[in-house]
Structure 1
Amino acid sequence: MTGVPAEATTPGPAVDRKMLEALVCPVTQGRLQYDAAGQELISSTARLAFPIRNGIPIMLAAEARELD
């Protein structure tokens, strides 16, 4: 889980870096971290992981995974 930049070695469909930079957590309005391996956007403050499916971030709290 490091920063927002999507690398060329990202598993799954490519994720648009500019789009990731513009997204914020829908719960806290805070910054998100991109987890390329898990294909998720992580909100440390809300303790939620939002899935990325087919290159599209699913920014619904109901679809997010709670973090331990």
Structure 2
Amino acid sequence: MLSAACRGIASVLRGARAPPPPPLPPPFLRRCLRATGSPSLAGRSERAEEPPRTFDPALLEFLVCPLSKKPLRYEASTNELINEELGIAYPIIDGIPNMIPQAARTTHQNKKQEETEQH
């Protein structure tokens, strides 16, 4: 009886097909991944070193400051997203904006305003 069960399992395994590939991401996400130069999952194992990812300014259409909900400005020289109104800058690390308010730094413009108000 056991050998019959083993033969049945073996025949099922021989005729088994590979699982279907995972579904493609939505078109918007595919465009963002292509624009940022993100490699496909298959290409990751083939590449020893990946070039550093850069921020895609097209994402500014969708990103806003988590505190004020206002649009942000991309500053390429410092690789940050700037909120002019609050005077804070969110760092971009490996092409990904760190939008956590505690990670933001105050900009020099904001410090100058504080000094002017104190005098």
**Paired position in structure 2 for 1:45:** 85
CA contact (8 A) 2:74 2:80 kept: yes
Number of residue pairs matched by the alignment: 57
**Paired position in structure 1 for 2:76:** 36
Confirm whether residue 56 of structure 1 aligns to residue 106 of structure 2.
no
**Paired position in structure 2 for 1:23:** 63
Identity %: 39
Deviations 1:46-65 (A, max 9, x none): 11100000100000100000
* Structure 2 unmatched runs, 5+: 1-51, 112-119
| Structure 1 residue identity aligned to 2:97 | P
Displacement of 1:18: 2.4
Question: Where in structure 1 do 4 or more consecutive aligned residues deviate above 6 Å?
Answer: none
* Structure 1 unmatched runs, 5+: 1-11
CA distance in 1, matches of 2:94, 2:60: 14
CA distance in 2, matches of 1:57, 1:42: 11
CA distance in 2, matches of 1:62, 1:26: 11
Relative to the length of structure 1, the TM-score reads: 0.75
Displacement of 1:20: 2.3
Deviations 1:28-57 (A, max 9, x none): 000111000100000011111000001000
- Bigger share in helix: 2
Larger CA Rg, structure 1 vs 2: 2
CA distance in 1, matches of 2:70, 2:57: 17
| Structure 2 residue identity aligned to 1:33 | R
- Bigger share in strand: 1
